[in-house]
Homo-oligomer: A and B are copies of this chain.
Amino acid sequence: MSVTAAQGFTAAGIAAGIKENGNPDLALVVNNGPRRAAAGVFTSNRVKAAPVLWSEQVLKGGTVGAVVLNSGGANACTGPQGFQDTHATAEKAAEVLKGHSAGEIAVASTGLIGLLLPMDKLLPGIEKAAGELSPYGGEKAAIAIKTTDTVHKTAVRQGEGWTVGGMAKGAGMLAPGLATMLVVLTTDADVDSPALDRALREATRTTFDRVDSDGCMSTNDTVLLLASGASGTVPEEAAFAEAVRAVCDDLARQLIGDAEGASKDIRIEVVGAATEDDAVEVGRSIARNNLLKCAIHGEDPNWGRVLSAIGTTKAVFEPDRLNVAINDVWVCRAGSVGEDRDLVDMRFREVRITADLSAGSASAVIWANDLTADYVHENSAYSS
């Protein structure tokens, strides 16, 4: 049910002709109220796409009436014309939706960088999508934002009298701060925008921000949380925050499971860290080590590459106190050879690496993918 699982929302997903292959490429999500509270988190890349620059401004007001999302073009590195196109997109949506103003319409785009969007396709597409808005349109919207995703991603959690649902896309350029992605979450809980903001930031910090498929940070990452208040229920803050976190976690796991060219999903858990920051730094360093990612692809429990990745960090640890397990076999103990590496069974898609720094009690989990010839192929040929 995606973004329409919660009451008060309608959505649509259509083929506007932005993608040359005719696949769906335009999604519209509308908050029908009574509330239109919203929060957003955006890429920390300093080269930001036009829709990110636009939507950051929109979100400062804490109110979002609708979101226009397109695949088939990122509208990034497109200069003043790109920004004018995003502005025109919001104006067009405000015009066709009635009762909405452009300044409260968020825009998100995904696809190739450095190309202007075909506005002659996109603007009529918004009108068409508006005509197809439905309280059952969430799946179609989730399908329309796919790029190289092989499946669309949705998740829902129920609270007591309220719901949080959402959709996500993301397949390449997955990396922290945030994984490349467009995500729209909706809820019918009666929550104001500051509370939405707190819940969303805490949720993304430990979910999307800890997905590191290929170390590449996008120019377009956007995560939005919209509240309609249509359930009439004011949730308990902790329960609401947990539901938002659970939906984000579910979607983040789906992103890793569908990353470009990947054959393995790698769950890296760093334990025994002096601080959570140390655990995250070490987890990211392991997640980004190309040699290790190749080894995991080859089902080779090459713990030496884990240690060499840990060694590049500033985290607190002593080399001769490091322990590493791969799929629960402690192949490295005290910085040296541990249990027999032949005991490690790596046939399954999920691979678990545990790195114990023996320096404290903090921990963190980072998700990554292996590095494969398919990834190389898909990303050598993507723009051609």
Q: Which residues of A contact B (CB under 8 A)?
A: 44-48, 74, 76-79, 82, 112-116, 172-173, 214-219, 288-291, 294-295, 297-298, 300, 302-305, 307-313, 317, 319-320, 322, 332, 334-337, 371-373, 375-384
**Residue in B74, B291, B377 whose CB lies within 8 Å of A373:** B377
CA gap between A44 and B311 in the complex, in Å: 8
Q: A215-B290, A290-B214, A384-B300 are in contact. Are A308 and B377 (CB under 8 A)?
A: no
Q: A78-B337, A336-B79 are in contact. Are A291 and B46 (CB under 8 A)?
A: no
In the complex, which residues of chain B have a beta carbon less than 8 angstroms from the beta carbon of A337? 77-79, 114-116
Contact (Cβ within 8 A) B79 A320: yes
Contact (Cβ within 8 A) A380 B334: no
Q: Which residue of B lies closest to A220 (CB)?
A: B308
**Residue in B114, B319, B378, B379 whose CB lies within 8 Å of A47:** B319
**Residue in B116, B216, B300, B380 whose CB lies within 8 Å of A380:** B300
A349–chain B nearest beta-carbon distance, Å: 16
A117–chain B nearest beta-carbon distance, Å: 13
In the complex, which residues of chain B have a beta carbon less than 8 angstroms from the beta carbon of A76? 304, 307-308
Please tell me how many copies of the chain the complex holds: 2
Q: Can you list 21 A-B pairs, Cβ within 8 angstroms, ordered by A?
A: A46-B311, A46-B312, A46-B313, A46-B317, A46-B319, A47-B307, A47-B308, A79-B334, A79-B336, A79-B337, A112-B304, A114-B307, A114-B337, A215-B289, A218-B308, A219-B307, A291-B379, A294-B379, A295-B379, A372-B376, A375-B376
CA gap between A302 and B44 in the complex, in Å: 21
A225–chain B nearest beta-carbon distance, Å: 24
Q: A308-B173, A319-B48 are in contact. Are A77 and B290 (CB under 8 A)?
A: no
CA gap between A224 and B110 in the complex, in Å: 49
Given A113-B307, A216-B289, A216-B308, output 15 extra A-B contacts at Cβ < 8 Å. Answer: A46-B310, A46-B319, A48-B311, A112-B304, A114-B307, A114-B337, A172-B291, A215-B289, A217-B308, A219-B308, A290-B379, A294-B376, A295-B383, A302-B382, A371-B376
Contact (Cβ within 8 A) A294 B173: no
Q: A77-B336, A319-B46, A335-B79 are in contact. Are A380 and B297 (CB under 8 A)?
A: yes
A379–chain B nearest beta-carbon distance, Å: 4
Contact (Cβ within 8 A) A312 B45: yes
CA gap between A337 and B214 in the complex, in Å: 25
